[in-house]
Each structure stands twice: as structure tokens, then as C-alpha cells.
Amino acid sequence: MALINRVTRLFRADMHAVLDRIEEPEVLLRQSIREMEEALADDEQQLRQLIEEGEQIAERVEILQQALVEIDAELDLCIDADKDDLARSLIKRKLESQRLEGVIEQRAESLQRQIVERKRDAEENRATLESMRQKAELLDNQRQTVNGATEWSAPDQSVLDEEIEIALLREKERRSHS
């Protein structure tokens, strides 16, 4: 029985090793990065659409508010002239406009929440994508080292926004103690 378990374990280990070589982790990682880039681009497009819709809603609210001001002025005129039938019509338009404004403002609030969520998700996805890119770069560097490539290349000179902020805080602290 022990011999059968050992042979089974060896067979499984060999199969896993073969599968690992067949799958080529570098290729899978690069494909994952491409898919993440596409998903991030789609998310950013949807975010732009939500922001554009928010701007359109803000314009509609402004137009409605202007219409309400005009209705109030006309209503004052009708009441001063004792034209109750016209005043009723204007009051109806005013109430409809106020209700519409309420609905639009609710949509604007909902839209704003969606925008905040999308921005947060996009930031998380960017961080994950950057992590995946770094892993791919590390894997490439390891592969070059293993393959005997001793070629020296300049490291990436890009500076992250977080690094800038930390350096600024350090400079401010250093100068405040001086």
C-alpha cells in the first residue's frame, strides 16, 4: 500500500511539473496583464460616461431652477392681476418642475456615489495592474539571469506620486526642525 501511495505521489508531482512547463507562467502572466489593461480601459470609459451624464444632469437642474424663477415671476403677475385660472396653471407647472427637480437630484446623488465607487475600484485595479507588471518584469529579469544574460540595463527611472508625497513630507519635516 505504501509503495502504491509513493508511486501515485511521484506521478502527481511529475504531472504537475509537466503542466507547469506547458502552461508557461510568463505567457499566462502577460495575458492576465493584457486582460487587466483592457478591463481597466473599459472601466475608465464607463467612468467618463458617468461623469458626462453627471454634467448633463447638472445642466438640467440649472435649467429647471431658471424655469422655476420665471414661473414665480409669472405667478406673481397673475396673482396681482387676480387671474386665478392662469395662476393654477402656473402652480401646476411649478409643482411638476419641483418634482422633476427632486427626481433629477436623486439621480445626481446616485450617479455621484457610482462615480466615487468606480474611481475607487479603478485605483485598486491600477494598483493590482502595476503589481502584475512588476511581477512580470521581475520574472523577465530572472529569466534573463537564468539564460545567462548578464547584460546590464538601466532601472526604471519613473517616480510614483506616492514617492513624491513622502519626499515632500520629509523635506518639510527636515526644514521645520532646522
pLDDT tens track for 147-166: 654 455 556 677 778 888 88
**Backbone phi, psi, residue 22, to 5°:** -70, -40
In this prediction, residue 105 carries a pLDDT of 93
Domain assignment present for 41 = yes
Confidence band (pLDDT; 50, 70, 90) for 132? confident
Domain assignment present for 10 = yes
Domain assignment present for 134 = no
In the chain, % helix, strand, coil (3-state, to 5) comes to: 90, 0, 10
Domain assignment present for 61 = yes
In this prediction, residue 174 carries a pLDDT of 85
User: What's the CA gap between 157 and 166, in Å, rounded?
Assistant: 17
By the 10 Å C-beta count (0-12 exposed, 13-18 middle, 19+ buried), 38 is classed as exposed
DSSP 150: -
pLDDT at residue 6 tops 70: no
Domain assignment present for 141 = no
Q: Which residue has the cell 502572466?
A: 29
pTM of the predicted model as reported, rounded to 2 decimal places: 0.58
Per-residue model confidence as pLDDT tens digits over 69-111: 999 999 999 999 998 899 999 999 999 999 999 999 999 999 9
pLDDT at residue 114 tops 80: yes
In this prediction, residue 18 carries a pLDDT of 59
Domain assignment present for 22 = yes
* pLDDT above 90: percentage of residues in the chain: 38
Domain region containing 59: 2-127
What's the rounded mean pLDDT across residues 22-49?
Answer: 83
Q: How many domains does the chain have?
A: 1
pLDDT at residue 14 tops 60: yes
Could you tell me how many helices (H) and strands (E) the chain has, helices first?
A: 4, 0
Domain assignment present for 170 = no
